[in-house]
Structure 1
C-alpha cells in the first residue's frame, strides 16, 4: 500500500511517529514526498495533496484543530468563521507568519480527554468544551444539537460528559435536544426559550414539517438560503406558507441574516403576533 493511501485514510495528515508505529519507514515517506504523492507540513508531519487547509494551518502552527474549526471539519453545523480555531500547548510561542489569513484564535485550556503530540485535531470532548467556552450560548447549543440530530453525537453520553465537566458545557448540553434540522432553528428555539417562549421544532402540519410552532398556530419559518439555494426551493416554501395561511395559521418567515444579525427585529415581530393572540385558536 502506498503511504499516501495510509495518510489519506487517517484524515489527510499524519505525524511521522504514527507512520513509523504502523511500520512505515522514513525511506518510504521520503520516496513518496520526492514523487509528489505527499507534502511536508513541518519537521514532524506529512500530508496528502489537497489536504484540508484548516488542518494544514493548525499543524504548521504546532497545534490541533479545535472549537468551531474542528466542528466544521467533522461535519457539524457552524457559522462561517474566517478565524482558525487552534488548540495549543501552554508553552506555545511560535509567531504567526501567514499574513494573508486572519489571525487564528488560540485555545489554551486543557480538556477532559488526553491528547498526544501526534494528534492533528482536538479529541471530541475537548472540542465540545472549547465550543462551550468560546461561542455564544445559543450558537454552542446549535453546533452540538446538529451533531445529535445527525446521530454523530449521543445525547446520553453528552449528559454524562456534562455532569463530569460542569460549567458552561453543562449549561449548553442541558439546552440540547437534537430536534432541529438546522442550526438556525436551534438558535431561534434557544433565544425564545430565554424569553420564556416555547418553540416546538419540526412539527408536522398537514403532512409537512414546519421549522417551529408557538402555541396553537404561530408558525416560524427560517430561510437558510445561501448562494447554492434554488428558486424552486423558494417557491416550494412560499407554497407551504400559503397552504398554512389558508388553514388559519399565522406564518412568520425570517431570513438567515435576520435571525443571526437582526434578532431584535425578529423578536419584536414574534412578540407582536403573540400580543394579538395570533398564536392561539379562537376560543368560543
Structure 2
C-alpha cells in the first residue's frame, strides 16, 4: 500500500487549492497527476488499490482501506473493496471489486470512509472475528476515538458489540487478538503482554502457569532467534511455567491443534 493518506484527488479540490485548469493539464502531461476518470486524478505514488477504487467510482473500503491504514487484517484477498455513496454509479462493471453502498454520516469525510465505517464494513463482510482483530489494531494505533467507538456500538450487530466489549487498546499483534477472541468461549483467564519475573514480557499467560508465545510472519527459525527462544523457555520452566509457541500458520489455519495443545497443557499443570 502507498503511504499517501489521500492518494486520489478531484478537480474541485485542486481548484479550491489554487490550481488553474492550465496547471492541471501541465501536471497530466508531465506525470505529476494521473487521470483516473473525468474530474478524478491520482498522485503518482498512489497504490494500485486506490487507483482501481477511483476508476470504479468510489474510494477504498473495508479490508482494502484497513490495509491502507496499516491495520492488521485477516483477509488475503486483494480484490479491492470500494465505498460507493448513494447517487454515484459504477464506472467499471467488469472488475472484481466488492461494493459498499453506505451514505456518509454527519460530519464524516466524503472522500474516504471513516475508520469506524471501515471497521463496520469488515464486520458486515467478514464477521465478528475479523472485525475484532482489525478493531484492536485500530485502537492500538490510536485511530479510533470515543466517538468512533460509540458510533460502532450503535451500528454493530451482536457479534460486533461482543467484540467491542472485549477489545483493548494494547494488543501487540493481530495474532494475539485472534488468540484471545478464539479462547473467549472456553472460560479461561487469558492475560496478554504480562511481565513475569525472571522471564520478561510474554504474549499471553493462561491461568497462572501456561505461557503462550505467538511468532508472527517473521522468521523465528534462525539460529540466533531460536537460541534466544530456547533460553527464554528454559528460564520460564525454571520458575515453574510451561511455554507453548505457535506460529502464524498454526493460529490462522490449524486452530484445532492450537486449542487442543492449550487444553492439554492446562490439564497437565
Q: TM-score, structure 1 length as denominator?
A: 0.83
Correspondent of 1:184 among 168, 175, 199:
175
Instruction: Give 3-state SS (helix, strand or coil) of 1:212's partner.
Output: strand
Q: CA deviation at 1:111?
A: 5.7
Q: Alpha-carbon deviation of 1:157? A: 3.5
- Alignment correspondent of 2:202: 210
For residue 11 of structure 1, report the CA deviation from its aligned partner.
2.5
- Secondary structure at the aligned position of 1:197 is classed as coil
- Rounded to whole Å, the distance in 1 between the matches of 2:6 and 2:222 is 32
Retained in 2: the 8 A contact 1:189–1:198?
no
Distance 2:236 2:47 in 1: 43
SS at match of 1:41: strand
Q: CA RMSD in A?
A: 2.5
Aligned length: 263
Match of 1:161 in 2: 151
Check 1:230–1:71 CA distance in 2 against 1; reply closer, same or farther (3 A cut).
Answer: farther
Counterpart in 2 of 1:130?
121
Instruction: Measure how far apart 1:250 and its partner are.
Output: 0.8
Distance 2:252 2:258 in 1: 10
Match of 1:224 in 2: 216
Shift of 1:186: 0.5
* Equivalent in the alignment of 2:251: 259
Per-residue CA deviation, residues 79-114 of structure 1 (Å, 9 max, x unaligned), is 33322121224564444445xxxx222223446456
Partner-residue secondary structure (3-state), 2:260: helix
Distance 1:10 1:233, change over 3 A: same
Report which stretch shifted further, 245-254 or 221-230: 221-230
Report the counterpart of residue 34 of structure 1 in structure 2. Answer: 29
CA contact (8 A) 1:113 1:123 kept: no
Residues 233/180 of structure 1: CA separation in 2 closer, same or farther (3 Å cut):
farther
**Partners of 2:10 and 2:16 in 1: CA distance:** 10
The answer to whether structure 1 residue 48 and structure 2 residue 43 are counterparts is yes
Q: Distance in 2 between matches of 1:78 and 1:112?
A: 24
- Which residue does the alignment assign to 1:5? none
Deviations 1:40-77 (A, max 9, x none): 11112112213121111111111211111111111111
Shift of 1:163: 3.6
- The correspondence of residues 18-97 of structure 1 with structure 2, limited to 5 A, is 18-79=13-74, 80-89=76-85, 92-97=89-94
Provide the rounded CA distance (Å) in 1 between the counterparts of 2:17 and 2:260. 59
Aligned partner of residue 181 in structure 1, secondary structure: coil
Give the superposition deviation at 1:242: 2.3
Once the two structures are TM-superposed, the CA of residue 192 in structure 1 deviates from its matched residue by: 0.3
